[in-house]
Homo-oligomer: A and B are copies of this chain.
């Protein structure tokens, strides 16, 4: 019995202006349904037993239950006979920066299910707790929940913007593996975000286009969902923008590394060009040709060949490199 209990998730309930923190059991569910008031039930990290309650008490369609257990889905809105099943995404602080929320919504209740932390929910519950009034406008609640999730992407994307600028500066100072690694990591995150946002945006497009519908939704609510849609387009535009910028950053990175390589090679060439002839000259006068040794015995030979020739070579090199702009 206790084993089954552990499988139970804690849930937050709002009904009739009262915010409650309870264990999620069949009894809790039945009690909520018994009252004739709209309720919002939020299940955090649900287990097998919780889905069983959803099946047994709420009698949701098996495909909807199965979908709600399967995390890693596309945002969507599936209409069933007496409820809709929703998948929406928000920002979080974990590895993939995403929280996936599944929702069952009918005219009588909203049940949200998620595995990662959803800070937007805590805030929203506090608001209802402070006002202690019943949920009189369920679609507006749905709007607030989704709006909270969607708007949580904006600060995350603002961080991206700053990070790209910083990366750019670091690349020019000292391009290294760390920059290319971070560009890749950021691209990977954006690819993940985009995979979450694009279907969510399309889902709201079909919601405000009238293709899909939420129970109890009026013209006025549509205005609010249009606002969410507008934000999702902006988020999706920003993601594309940052992807573009990261691609350009990679180009700049590669070009900077190439430039540096070019500069290093020029230095090597300058060094070789200066010292190889000098070394040749010293080698020349180090040869053991007796005739030559005899003829370079005086100090005049040393100054002329030993010092003068070398200095002349250096001077020629300097002029040459100055003309080439390498020096």
Give the interface of A toward B (CB within 8 A). 61, 63, 67, 72-74, 76, 78, 80, 168, 172, 174-177, 180-181, 183-184, 187-188, 191-192, 195, 199, 223-224, 226-227, 230, 233-234, 237, 241, 244-245, 248-262, 264-269, 271-273, 275-280, 282-293, 296-299, 301-302, 305-306, 310, 325
Given contacts A224-B63, A279-B279, A283-B286, contact A184 B252 (CB under 8 A): yes
Give the docked Cα–Cα distance between A180 and B238 (Å): 23
- Which one of B259, B277, B287 lies within 8 Å of A286 (CB-CB)? B287
Query: What residues on B are CB-neighbors of A267 within 8 Å?
Result: 269, 273
Check if B286 sits within 8 Å of A276, measured CB to CB: no
Is A291's CB under 8 angstroms from B302's CB? yes
Residue of chain B at shortest CB distance from A286:
B286
Cα A172 to Cα B176 in complex, Å, equals 11
Q: How far is the CB of A149 from chain B (nearest CB, A)?
A: 18
The listed residue (B74, B223, B273) touching A230 by CB distance below 8 A is B74
Interface majority SS (helix, strand, loop, mixed), chain A:
helix
The residue on B at minimum CB distance from A291 is B299
* B191 lies within 8 A of A245 (CB): yes
Q: Is the CB of A293 within 8 A of B283?
A: no
- Give the docked Cα–Cα distance between A115 and B299 (Å): 80
Complex-state Cα separation, A252 to B275, whole angstroms: 34
Least Cβ–Cβ distance between A184 and chain B, in angstroms: 5
- Additional A-B contact list (20), CB under 8 Å, known A257-B258, A264-B269: A63-B227, A67-B227, A74-B233, A74-B234, A177-B259, A183-B252, A187-B244, A191-B244, A250-B251, A250-B255, A260-B262, A267-B273, A268-B272, A275-B279, A279-B279, A279-B280, A279-B283, A285-B288, A289-B306, A290-B298
* A176 pairs with B259, CB closer than 8 A: yes
B275 engages A302 (CB within 8 Å): no
List of 6 A-B pairs having minimum Cβ-Cβ separation, nearest first:
A282-B283, A290-B297, A275-B276, A285-B287, A289-B302, A180-B255
Contact of A282 among B67, B261, B286, B290 (CB under 8 A): B286
Q: Tell me which residues across on chain B come within 8 A of A293, comparing CB atoms.
A: 288, 290
Q: Knowing A184-B249, A251-B250, A268-B265 are in contact, say whether A280-B275 is a contact too (CB < 8 A).
A: yes
